[in-house]
Amino acid sequence: MKPEDLRYAESHEWVHVSEQDGQQVATVGISAFAIEQLNDLVYMDLPEAGRTLKAGEEFGEVESVKAVSPLYSPVSGEIVEVNSQLPDNLEWLNEDPYQKGWILKVRMSGDEGLDQLLDHAAYQKQCAESG
Amino acid sequence: MYLFHTEADRRAMLDAIGAASMEEILRQQIPADARFQRPLELPPAVSEMQLQRDVTRAAAENASTASHVCFMGAGAYDHFVPAAVDAIASRGEFYTSYTPYQAEVSQGNLQAMFEYETLITQLTGLDVSNASLYDGGTAAVEAVIMALSVGKGRRRVVTSATVHPEYRQILETYLHALDCELVIAPLDESATAENLLPLIDDDTACVLVQHPNFFGHLEDVRTISDKAHEAGALVVQVFDPISMGLLKRPGDLGVDIAVAEGQCLGNPLAFGGPYLGVMACRQDLVRRLPGRIAGQTVDRRGNRCWVLTLQTREQHIRREKATSNICSNQTLLALRATVYLSLLGPQGLLETAQHCHQKTAYARQQLAGIERLELPFEGPVFKEFVVRDRERDVIGLNRTLREQGILMGVPLERWYPELEDCFLVAVTEQRTRADIDALAGALSNAPTQGVTAGA
Amino acid sequence: MRNTQSTRLLFELSQPGRRAALLPPLDEQITAAAEPLPETQAADGPPPLPELAEGDVIRHFTNLSTLNMSVDTHFYPLGSCTMKYNPKRNERLAALPGLADVHPLQDDDSVQGLLRLLYELQQMLAEISGLPAVSLQPAAGAHGELTALMVAHAYYAQRGEDRRVVLTADSAHGTNPASAAMAGFETRAVKSSPEGLIDVEDLRSKLDDQVAVFMLTNPNTLGLFDHQICEITQAVHDAGALVYLDGANMNAIMGLSRPGDFGADMMHYNPHKTFSGPHGGGGPGAGPICVRDFLEPFLPAPTIARDADQDHYRLEYDRPESIGRVRTFFGNTGVLLRAYFYIRSYGGDGLRQVSEDAVLGANYLLSKVKHILDVPHGDRCMHEFVASASKLKKEQGISAMDLAKRILDYGFHAPTVYFPLVVDEAVMIEPTETESKETLDAFAEALFRVTGESGDLVHEAPHSTPISRPNDVAAARKPIMKWTPKDS
């Protein structure tokens, strides 16, 4: 996945929606910008597959040595897969945030939340303003 | 006193500040309506000599384990404290230092904390330990809160009347604010927690047991753990560190979180504190563990060293979402525990536990033979047991024995109305056969109610 | 000349069969009475503790001690921690057998001397705070906060008022919101004004019939006494809420201002700060609380009561409206007694002089440091002040952390850095009253020299300490929290 092709939440999660077996599945991760801001991640807490999320709901958190950042789901639906190896390989987030660093796959229950997402250009602008 | 500044210093400092007087600074800072206008009404200042005279006199009014032979326990014990413990803990570099936020100048404390944590894991058979909490009672409560946070949605805490009554009182205070249900299995003739088993249900987050329990009796922790785990609850065990010389460890009994009063590990009784709360848990619970943790790492030159770690659990980062509001640990007392356990080693701990266990058995046998007394509970005990006074005059007995230089035990009426005629006797390794014989002698010779001594 | 051989871990020093503590042989008649433990309960053997000789243990820990900075050895200008001199007489007196070797459950008649000292301490704390009712039970400052919030909870429950919100200052210590959460309250933060004080308008906008308590620190974490304090507490009272004072900074105001007089309803003391109890490497402390008389019924049991006619003291357990118990036994008596000794040593005028000298020392150091670092919140302060390394970081690449690390090489403990959060690159300095003018001069001089040093020298500092810049990230990623044999 290329960063240009993804959509982004203001809270820095990225989303890629694809069609699988006739259903919309969103792959969710966190942006390279956020990972750089968080600086030396040390821990990640992830949910289990099967849980249902609402758009905007907190589903986990990442920690650096002295900060904790919650992760929010950009879409609504059921978690169908979790990148369970990621917490033990946090360097993947730095090396490859858009492929190996994916976090969740969510079978979407609708379009809720999608209209809130930014395209790459708008997200870049947001990052530039906050940075 | 302990101040440094001469009047000349003060003058020079005010000049440097550019203030005409101290009053000018204070008036600028403190608004007039918040200014205190009279001298504090406190006792006048005294010299070190006078203070020592006054305090020594006040101290001499108290009975203590130095003046009396102590058979009191109930969570605080008169175990022997080797001189080496005091020698280390009274080093200013330890006791006048602060929390090791600057690891470069705190390696002594940090390494000692890491050693303490390791010793506690060895003692409990569990995976990780924090660097200590306030005391045994609050540690038990923190463990229960931890279990509640793991068992999201479960609101029930099951415990037993055989758990230290003050620990249960603290638990009630804390749980009141947290809207949980506390279920306590009542005291029965076995004086064990066996009767809590049917109380464990699918809403139970936590089962809290004490082993050896408040009355000194041994609990079947393995069976309780199995039953609790079947129901999806966690098990918290209050244990006696000294008993680990003889008894199976919490980690070997399936316990998830073990807590203890660490006073017995080289700390003075000090009328209740400061003590330390011991807490250890399984590896997968570490993110929920409250309190400070020292961890190992390397420095920029590659040298092994120690730092405070996993700090995101704590209140200074997570604020209202922290695992606990605790922002200190009892480092100095944990240091004493570390030195104490280093001095004892496995063999010393084993022998200390044997002394307690065997002398308790002897005392139990001796007291059972006294006509006036009976032992209301059967079954094996570790270092404490309950005694009933058939004359129903525990207070009078207690006074009589104190006058003879013996602190005979802890009356149980305050917590257990049904045991109003009973007291709890503890026997540590410090008691000799002569001490125990003296206790038995004094008890059998004590005047009964209404009869004056010597009559 | 460091002895690195003896500071290996205890477990690495261990040798099978070595031991320090020896117990006397058991009497035959005792052994005869013994019954073996049930097989299901008995361990196969004792835990795998290290095996050491007494000499090993002493040399190990004595050498470890030399790796610490401490108040006895170094100036420790750690803001918000009040690292003052810990008088030696307090240690000697607290160790008297009649105080140190007293069992917590002894009957009142056998501890009259002790209860008298503690009762007098209650009265002293009440007088210094202006709040009459005292509980000595809480074990630490954070524990005192929690206890007081539970008292507030019980008070409103009794009045039938459903107040669920605790307001905290955004500059407050993290324990404030954490304690509120544990006491079952929701928390909301009140903003600081640009001057670093409570934003009174923001406070007023958040005060409603849901608010139970406003927690504030005064003097605050910037070392400033809030000049609107009486207006603030009045506004809180007008809304039917209580004011809680975090007493962390009492060292600044003893005999100069009393929380009870400026409108606080509840507070805790940190006797290990204000009244010189040694910090012990991070504990023990104590957290006695003082409250107004209408809150007295809710304080934890037991309290100390005095039967005046008999001049007799007793622990009062019969407190039907009490929140209950918050810790085992009486409290951190050893720490409380040291506070008593300290207050007796100074008396009322002496304590006032302590606070004046603490304020004087901080202002003197401020007058020097302001020429070295920005001090964003004014030229004057109470007992501490917060400088900022923000400009230094931008212009020279030297951060607050770098400053803290490099100052260690000059033989000073670092100030508190990155707290409070409301100041960028915060450097929080509290000298206390027990430091001489010469020490303060030397510290300012060292700070000045550091700001002129090269980036590389500072970034890699400290250079003279046993270790330098430990890897916190590695420690948190793969936590090693105990020694295991394979590491040896």
CATH number at residue C239: 3.40.640.10
C94: amino acid identity, one letter: A
- Predicted pLDDT at A131: 55
Grade residue B340 by pLDDT with cuts at 50, 70 and 90: very high
pLDDT, average across residues C235-263: 97
Q: Are C204 and C228 part of one and the same domain?
A: yes
Q: Are C253 and C158 part of one and the same domain?
A: yes
Grade residue C402 by pLDDT with cuts at 50, 70 and 90: very high
Domains of chain A: 3-124 (2.40.50.100)
Q: How far is C396 from chain B (nearest CA, A)?
A: 22
- Substitution target in B24, B35, B36, B289 with the highest count of C β-carbons within 10 Å is B36
Instruction: Inform me whether the pLDDT recorded for B454 exceeds 90.
Output: no
Helices and strands per DSSP (H, E), number in chain C = 17, 12
Q: Are C19 and C158 part of one and the same domain?
A: no
The answer to whether position C480 is within a domain reads no
- Predicted pLDDT at C82: 95
Of residues C153 and A115, which shows the higher confidence score?
Answer: C153
The answer to whether position C484 is within a domain reads no
Grade residue B328 by pLDDT with cuts at 50, 70 and 90: confident
B101: nearest CA partner in chain C: C416
Contact in structure between B111 and B120 (CB atoms under 8 Å):
no
- Chain A positions in Cβ-Cβ contact with residue C477 (cut-off 8 Å): 42-43, 90
Q: Are C328 and C199 part of one and the same domain?
A: yes
Q: Are C250 and C391 part of one and the same domain?
A: no
Q: How far is B34 from chain C (nearest CA, A)?
A: 5
Domain range holding C239?
89-345
- Predicted pLDDT at B179: 80
Instruction: Inform me whether the pLDDT recorded for C487 exceeds 70.
Output: no
The answer to whether position C76 is within a domain reads no
Q: How far is A4 from chain B (nearest CA, A)?
A: 33
In the stretch 446-475 of chain C, residues with CB closer than 8 A to chain A read 472-473
Q: How far apart are CA C224 and CA C337, in angstroms?
A: 30
- Substitution target in C51, C91, C101 with the highest count of B β-carbons within 10 Å is C101
- Chain C positions in Cβ-Cβ contact with residue B125 (cut-off 8 Å): 47
Residue A61's Cβ-count burial label (10 Å; 0-12, 13-18, 19+) is middle
Q: Does C59 contact chain B (CB < 8 Å)?
A: no
Q: Do A65 and B312 touch (CB under 8 A)?
A: yes
Contact in structure between B305 and B103 (CB atoms under 8 Å):
yes
A68: nearest CA partner in chain B: B312
Per-residue pLDDT tens over the stretch B230-250: 999 999 999 999 999 999 999
C465: nearest CA partner in chain B: B104
Contact in structure between B94 and C68 (CB atoms under 8 Å):
yes
Look up residue C154 and give its two tokens: 């019980």
Mean of pLDDT over chain C:
95
Q: Are C282 and C375 part of one and the same domain?
A: no
Q: Return the SS3 of B433.
A: helix
pLDDT, average across residues C456-470: 96
Contact in structure between C330 and B141 (CB atoms under 8 Å):
no
- Predicted pLDDT at B323: 77
Q: Are C258 and C165 part of one and the same domain?
A: yes
B40: nearest CA partner in chain C: C348
- Predicted pLDDT at B176: 87
Domains of chain B: 69-80+345-445 (3.90.1150.10), 83-340 (3.40.640.10)
Q: How far apart are CA C191 and CA A7, in angstroms?
A: 34
- Chain C positions in Cβ-Cβ contact with residue B67 (cut-off 8 Å): 97-98
Grade residue B449 by pLDDT with cuts at 50, 70 and 90: confident
Q: How far apart are CA B225 and CA B234, in angstroms?
A: 8
Instruction: Inform me whether the pLDDT recorded for B452 exceeds 50.
Output: no
pLDDT, average across residues B416-438: 98
Q: Are C396 and C276 part of one and the same domain?
A: no
Q: How many residues does this entry show for chain A?
A: 131
Q: Are C98 and C32 part of one and the same domain?
A: no
Q: Do C332 and B273 touch (CB under 8 A)?
A: yes
Q: Are C368 and C238 part of one and the same domain?
A: no
The answer to whether position C280 is within a domain reads yes
Q: How far apart are CA C351 and CA C357, in angstroms?
A: 10
Q: Mind giving me the DSSP string for B286-301? A: GGG--S--EEEEE-TT
Grade residue A38 by pLDDT with cuts at 50, 70 and 90: confident
Q: Does B287 contact chain A (CB < 8 Å)?
A: yes
Cα–Cα distances in angstroms (integers) from residue C383 to residues B107, C83, C251, in the given order: 29, 12, 7
pLDDT, average across residues A22-33: 92
The answer to whether position C485 is within a domain reads no
Per-residue pLDDT tens over the stretch B143-185: 999 999 998 789 999 999 999 999 999 999 999 878 899 999 9
Number of domains in chain C: 3
Q: Are C32 and C117 part of one and the same domain?
A: no
Per-residue pLDDT tens over the stretch C313-365: 999 999 999 999 999 999 999 999 999 999 999 999 999 999 999 999 999 99
Per-residue pLDDT tens over the stretch C182-218: 999 999 999 988 888 999 999 999 999 999 999 999 9
The answer to whether position C488 is within a domain reads no
Which residues is C285 bridged to in the sheet? Answer: none
Domain final position from C327, C345, C363: C345
pLDDT, average across residues A10-39: 90
Of residues A90 and C132, which shows the higher confidence score?
Answer: C132
